[in-house]
Structure 1
Amino acid sequence: FHLVDGQLQPSMYQIVNILDKGLKHVGYWTPTNGIKKKLHQTKESNDDLGAIIWPGDTIFSPKGWEIPTSSESKLRVGVPAGRGFVQFVDVDIDPKTRQVISVTGFCIDIFIAVMDALPYAVTIEFVPFSPSGVTGTAESYKKFFHEFSNGAYDVLAGDITILADRMDTCDFSLPYTEAGFSMVVPIKVDERKSTWIFMRPLETELWITIGAFFIYTGLVVWVVEHRVNKEFRGPPRQQVGTIFWFSFSTLVFAHREKLISNLSRFVVIVWVFVVLVLTSSYTASLTSMLTVQKLQPVYTDIDKIMRNGESVGYQGSSFVYNKLIGIGFDESKLKNYSNFEQYDKALELGSQNGGVSAIVDEIPYLKVFLAKYCTKYTMTGPTYKTAGFGFAFPKGSPLVADVSRAILQVTEVQIRNISNQWFGEPTSCNKPNEAAVTSDRLTLDCFKGLFIIAGLSSTSALLFFLLKFLYEVREMLVSPGSVGQKLASIAKTFDVFKDGESKMATAEAVTDTGFFSSDEGFSTTEPETPVYDTSLVAESTIEIEVIADVTST
């Protein structure tokens, strides 16, 4: 160093860029010429200075030092104030001093949790935004973002939706809520009874399966009984009718045909059990449909509301207003509200009485609304996609990447606890006749096990009969002749009535205490009363009287 009159004189300095592998010369600094590439350079331009290589091998200067981390320099967080949806953002301001007392809400707790999850400490200061005259309107959010773009805030936190037009002036973090907006409508009791309601208890697939099993069971019984039972014989038309009649009559247990073969009895016993379960289930389901009132939404399509010229409500500060205008709604049919109580009152009145037919809002708001009024309203219609809630930062802010990474950590671990704190535990809504809004139709899966049992029983009985019959006609199978001749002979043999087996089966059925009746099936009777010859009794009486007279004389 050099002292003149006791004062330290400025000297020349060399500026170097410190790299991993050493030093890189940048230039020189002198009191007279400032920073120059060369020591005695006199030209004013500094274009020839060496480029600075920053960590990460980049020539662009990092903005990490711009993040305020000390108590003196705080991160100014803009939050919307004066809104009715306090579950999301609630700003308490002292009316006298206009000082912020507290800033709370679901979105604020998420933001604080995200800041705490950053790998470095950030000091924050909440700055409420509530311009007079436009509080709680879409215009207020436009002014909010306008001030933000002018540098009034370092970050925006709250129920701020990520939109494409907003990304022109700022960068957004990843969303931390469910995306999209939909509509909520009242629910009503649907008292309409369909002409074909008796078909509704069973799904089409189940109806077809039941019909197929009826025919298959009747066919198996006919095959087994045809050779030994006169009631399963006759002209072809009569036999086809017998197949259908016997099978479908089991539905009401009205079949009267006596079964002779044990195989067919086994098949029918299993099938009657299946029919019993089916009829019981069908009766219970149909009774429920006819007696229990149905809860249905009044509207399921927003286009129908628009065509009918009915009014729709929306949140005053939401972008949904512009979306509804874009869909085609008339501006006079749109009404803005600022809290859930106003939503409820407007829906109760309806369009005809100065209210609205539906409320269109973002899904996070609608879910909170339905948690409170779930017995009166339901969410319906299509869900229009949005990106959800996020935090807004100035363009190029280094905080965006770190905050987005921290949001992922918070949503994986803490967001459920924060949500339960502000919205309550997610519980099922006890709507009146809630069972009626669910599907009460019976499906094939409900009875798949029964059909498998019935199918195996019928098929095994049929296979056993066929094997036995083929064994009886084994000589025909090995006899000389064409395949057609053999099949014709087998068919004729199958059609031959085996009267002996029929009589034997009938004889086995008749016992001393009962017999088969064509009308009543198996029934019991009392023993017959003995029959006496009255003439013989009279003669014996006369003989006894004559003998008595002779003895007396």
Structure 2
Amino acid sequence: MRPLLLVLAMMIPSQVYPMQKSPLRIDATAFPPTVSVLGDSAVYGFEIELSKAVAEELGYSTQFRVVPFSRVFDGIRHGTADLAIGGITVTDRREQLVDFSYPYLEGGFSVLSKTSPPQGVREMLRSLVDVESLRLAGVVLLVAFVVGTFMFLFERKCPGSDFIGVSIPLGLWRGFYVALVNCFSGGPGDLRAHTVKGQILTLLSIIVIVHTVIGLTITRISGMVQRAGQEIVEAPEDLAGHRVATKTGTVAVDALRQCGAEVIEKLSAQEAFQAVECGETEFAVFDTPVVRAYAASKPGAVAVHSIGFGPQRYGFVLPEGSPLREEVNRALLKLIRQGTFEQLQHRWFH
């Protein structure tokens, strides 16, 4: 009886359990707001949610591991990661070593600079009385004195002139006065030149003084802007010769070297931004979403400049020849058609 029961028990089919897929192993490197790291391992952001949505479409759970950018390709190449994320730019050089999914984000580089603190009345007045201001005033007064001297010499013998019969000191003063009044009032005042030489000299004095004032004023304003750390940056070439911080090992390093900047490499974008704030570098350059997110956290302390660096495309990184690549691409296209992708974009970038 016992052997029979044993045989019958063995014949009863056991409950069938579906085979569970292994979790999708994802290496993530910090790239806020697409990948933000909280503590040592907690991650959140646009790419985190996007990769979870892709994994769900494929029937996988997810297992994230935080890695520095310098090691973001190691897990992919050594087989310890199935996917890598964190604002990783698609480049021809990288595509020779790993595979990329369809690009799902496109951006570029932006420049971060430090803004000057608002000045009080005392600081503003003090800034007006400096070497440049004194130089400007000195040049104007010197030109007016020289013009006034020749004016006195030309006019002192002309009938009806205001310079006839006056002493040399008074004549020099009147000439000086005429030069300044004609320049800053736009026309003759109560004293004027009567001779052709005096009139020509008056016109020349207006041209010289106005040109000098405008030129030195522009130079002064440019100097003030540079000292405030707010030099206008409109193109990559404007960074030539300047100290610019960026994250080591990124595409930005090569782009900055090509435009002639003195590149200061940092371990993270955060360190590059802090180098600007503490005055170690004049600028920092990094991917636009990250720069704008940092600037939003420092209102009034830093400024963002959009420049003409070429567009950067971001995608998931996979091992070369990975069978997951086509599945991931199909899942991405499905999320786009369903509107899920647009919802994630709106949540994290608007």
Q: TM-score range by the shorter chain?
A: 0.5 to 0.7
Q: CA RMSD in A?
A: 3.6
Unmatched segments (≥5 aa) in structure 2: 1-17, 119-123, 125-224
Task: Quote how far apart the aligned CAs of 1:361 are.
Answer: 0.6
Match of 2:240 among 297, 306, 319: 306
The residue number in structure 2 matching 1:334 is 264
Looking at structure 2, the residues matched to 347 and 129 of structure 1 have their Cα atoms a distance apart, in angstroms, of 26
The residue number in structure 1 matching 2:25 is 76
The residue number in structure 2 matching 1:112 is 52
Task: Quote how far apart the aligned CAs of 1:312 are.
Answer: 0.5
SS at match of 1:328: coil
Q: Which structure 2 residues correspond to residues 49-88 of structure 1 after superposition, within 5 A?
A: 70-71=19-20, 73-80=22-29, 83=30, 85=32, 88=35
Runs of 4+ in 1 over 6 A off after TM superposition: none
Looking at structure 1, the residues matched to 21 and 33 of structure 2 have their Cα atoms a distance apart, in angstroms, of 31
Match of 1:319 among 245, 251, 276: 251
The one-letter code of the counterpart of 2:289 is P
The one-letter code of the counterpart of 1:325 is R
Looking at structure 2, the residues matched to 84 and 180 of structure 1 have their Cα atoms a distance apart, in angstroms, of 14
1:102-133 per-residue CA deviation (whole Å, 9 max, x = no partner) reads 443321111112223x3x4124333x254xxx
Looking at structure 1, the residues matched to 114 and 336 of structure 2 have their Cα atoms a distance apart, in angstroms, of 32
SS at match of 2:76: helix
- Whether contact under 8 Å (2:21, 2:59) holds in the other structure is no
- Whether contact under 8 Å (2:236, 2:259) holds in the other structure is no
The one-letter code of the counterpart of 1:299 is I
1:344-380 per-residue CA deviation (whole Å, 9 max, x = no partner) reads 5433444xxxx22221111221232233345441223
SS at match of 2:321: coil
Q: Which structure 2 residues correspond to residues 1-12 of structure 1 after superposition, within 5 A?
A: none
The one-letter code of the counterpart of 2:27 is G
Cα distance 1:104–1:297, how it changes in 2: closer, same or farther (>3 A)? same
2:122 is the counterpart of 1:122: no
Unmatched segments (≥5 aa) in structure 1: 1-68, 94-99, 192-293, 427-553
**May I ask how many residue pairs the two structures share in their alignment?**
222
- Whether contact under 8 Å (2:106, 2:311) holds in the other structure is no
- Whether contact under 8 Å (1:172, 1:391) holds in the other structure is yes
The one-letter code of the counterpart of 2:261 is F
Task: Quote how far apart the aligned CAs of 1:159 are.
Answer: 2.6
Cα distance 1:148–1:345, how it changes in 2: closer, same or farther (>3 A)? closer
Cα distance 1:343–1:396, how it changes in 2: closer, same or farther (>3 A)? closer
- Compare the two structures and name the one with the higher helix fraction: 2
Looking at structure 1, the residues matched to 327 and 107 of structure 2 have their Cα atoms a distance apart, in angstroms, of 22
Task: Quote how far apart the aligned CAs of 1:408 are.
Answer: 3.6
Task: Quote how far apart the aligned CAs of 1:420 are.
Answer: 5.3
The residue number in structure 2 matching 1:380 is 306
TM-score for both structures, normalised by structure 2: 0.52
Match of 1:394 among 301, 316, 319: 319
1:137-184 per-residue CA deviation (whole Å, 9 max, x = no partner) reads xxx23xx32442232222223332212111112211112222322323
- Whether contact under 8 Å (1:187, 1:377) holds in the other structure is yes
SS at match of 1:152: coil
1:401-453 per-residue CA deviation (whole Å, 9 max, x = no partner) reads 33223324435623454345556xx3xxxxxxxxxxxxxxxxxxxxxxxxxxx
TM-score for both structures, normalised by structure 1: 0.35
Q: Which structure 2 residues correspond to residues 483-522 of structure 1 after superposition, within 5 A?
A: none
Looking at structure 1, the residues matched to 273 and 25 of structure 2 have their Cα atoms a distance apart, in angstroms, of 36
The residue number in structure 1 matching 2:99 is 171
- Whether contact under 8 Å (1:89, 1:107) holds in the other structure is no
Structure of higher CA gyration radius: 1
The one-letter code of the counterpart of 1:108 is I
Cα distance 1:169–1:317, how it changes in 2: closer, same or farther (>3 A)? closer
